[in-house]
Structure 1
Amino acid sequence: MLTYTILGSGAMGLRFGVLLQDAGFNVDFVDIWDEQVQTIKAQGGVYVSRDGENRHLVPARIFTPEEYEGNPDVFIVFAKQMQLADLLKRSAHFIKSDQYIFSGMNGMGHIEKLNQYFDKNKVIGGTCLIGTVLNKAGDVDFIGKRGAGSINMANQTEEPDNTTYQIVEDFKKANLNPTLTKNFQGTLMSKVIFNSVVNTLCTLFEIKMGEFISFPKADQLGLQLIHEAYDVCERAGIQLLTTRQEEWETVRHVSAETNPLHYPSMYQDMSKGRLTEVDYINGYIYDLGKKYDYEASTHHFLRNLVHLAEHTRQFR
Structure 2
Amino acid sequence: MGKKIAIVGAGAVGSKVGGHMLANGEDVTFIDGWPDHVEKINKDGLYMTGNTPEEEMTVQGRALHLTDVQELAKEDPIDIAFVSMKSYDTEWATQLIKPYLAPDGFIVSLQNCMNEEFIAAIVGWGKVMGTIAAKISVQMPGPGHVHRNGPIMGNSHTVFRVGEPHGRITPRAEEVAQLCGYCDSYLVTTNLWGERWTKLVMNSSSNPMAAASGLSSTAISEDADLRKVKIHLAAEAIEVGRAAGFNLEKLHGIDCGQWTKALDGDKAAYAEIEEDYIEMGKKGNPDGRPSMGQDMQKGRRTEIDFMNGLVCMKAREFGLKTPVNDGIVEAVKMVEKDPSKATPDLVKGLLP
Separation in structure 1 between the aligned mates of residue 105 and residue 277 of structure 2, nearest angstrom: 34
User: Partner residue of 2:311?
Assistant: 285
> Within the alignment, does 1:116 sit opposite 2:121 as a pair?
yes
Q: Deviations over 1:219-276 (max 9, x none)?
A: 4222211211111122222221123257858766644436655211101111111110
Separation in structure 2 between the aligned mates of residue 24 and residue 234 of structure 1, nearest angstrom: 42
User: Partner residue of 2:8?
Assistant: 7
Matched to 1:112, the amino acid is E
Residues 10 and 134 in structure 1, CA contact (< 8 A), matched pair in contact too? yes
1:1-316 equivalent positions in 2, closer than 5 A: 1-3=1-3, 4-41=5-42, 43-51=43-51, 57-64=58-65, 65-68=69-72, 69-108=75-114, 110-129=115-134, 130-146=136-152, 150-172=159-181, 174-242=182-250, 243-244=255-256, 254-257=280-283, 261-313=287-339
Q: Greater Rg, structure 1 or structure 2?
A: 2
Separation in structure 1 between the aligned mates of residue 276 and residue 85 of structure 2, nearest angstrom: 24
Separation in structure 2 between the aligned mates of residue 126 and residue 18 of structure 1, nearest angstrom: 17
Q: Deviations over 1:90-139 (max 9, x none)?
A: 2232123311322221123x212211343323322122120111122222
Separation in structure 2 between the aligned mates of residue 233 and residue 90 of structure 1, nearest angstrom: 32
Separation in structure 2 between the aligned mates of residue 116 and residue 31 of structure 1, nearest angstrom: 23
Partner SS for 2:161: strand
Cα offset, 1:208, TM superposition: 2.1
Separation in structure 1 between the aligned mates of residue 198 and residue 217 of structure 2, nearest angstrom: 18
Provide the TM-score with structure 2 as the length reference: 0.80
Cα offset, 1:284, TM superposition: 0.5
Partner SS for 2:123: coil
Matched to 1:48, the amino acid is M
Separation in structure 1 between the aligned mates of residue 34 and residue 121 of structure 2, nearest angstrom: 23
Higher mean C-alpha deviation, range 6-15 or range 95-104: 95-104
Unaligned runs of 5+ in 2: 260-272, 343-352
Separation in structure 1 between the aligned mates of residue 175 and residue 319 of structure 2, nearest angstrom: 42
Provide the TM-score with structure 1 as the length reference: 0.88
Residues 19 and 175 in structure 1, CA contact (< 8 A), matched pair in contact too? yes
Residues 195 and 248 in structure 2, CA contact (< 8 A), matched pair in contact too? yes
Count of residues in correspondence between the two structures: 313
Residues 203 and 307 in structure 2, CA contact (< 8 A), matched pair in contact too? yes
Separation in structure 2 between the aligned mates of residue 147 and residue 290 of structure 1, nearest angstrom: 36
Q: Deviations over 1:29-64 (max 9, x none)?
A: 1113333323333x3322322249786543120013
Partner SS for 1:294: coil
Q: Indicate how the Cα distance of structure 1 residues 56 and 152 shifts in structure 2: closer, same or farther if over 3 A, else same.
A: closer
Q: Deviations over 1:200-233 (max 9, x none)?
A: 1122222222222222355422221121111112
Partner SS for 2:169: coil
Matched to 2:178, the amino acid is E
Separation in structure 1 between the aligned mates of residue 195 and residue 106 of structure 2, nearest angstrom: 18
Q: Indicate how the Cα distance of structure 1 residues 57 and 167 shifts in structure 2: closer, same or farther if over 3 A, else same.
A: closer
Partner SS for 1:239: coil
Identity of aligned residues (%): 22
Separation in structure 1 between the aligned mates of residue 96 and residue 167 of structure 2, nearest angstrom: 29
Unaligned runs of 5+ in 1: none
Partner SS for 1:98: strand
Higher mean C-alpha deviation, range 282-291 or range 97-106: 97-106
CA RMSD of superposed structures (Å)? 2.7
Residues 220 and 227 in structure 2, CA contact (< 8 A), matched pair in contact too? no
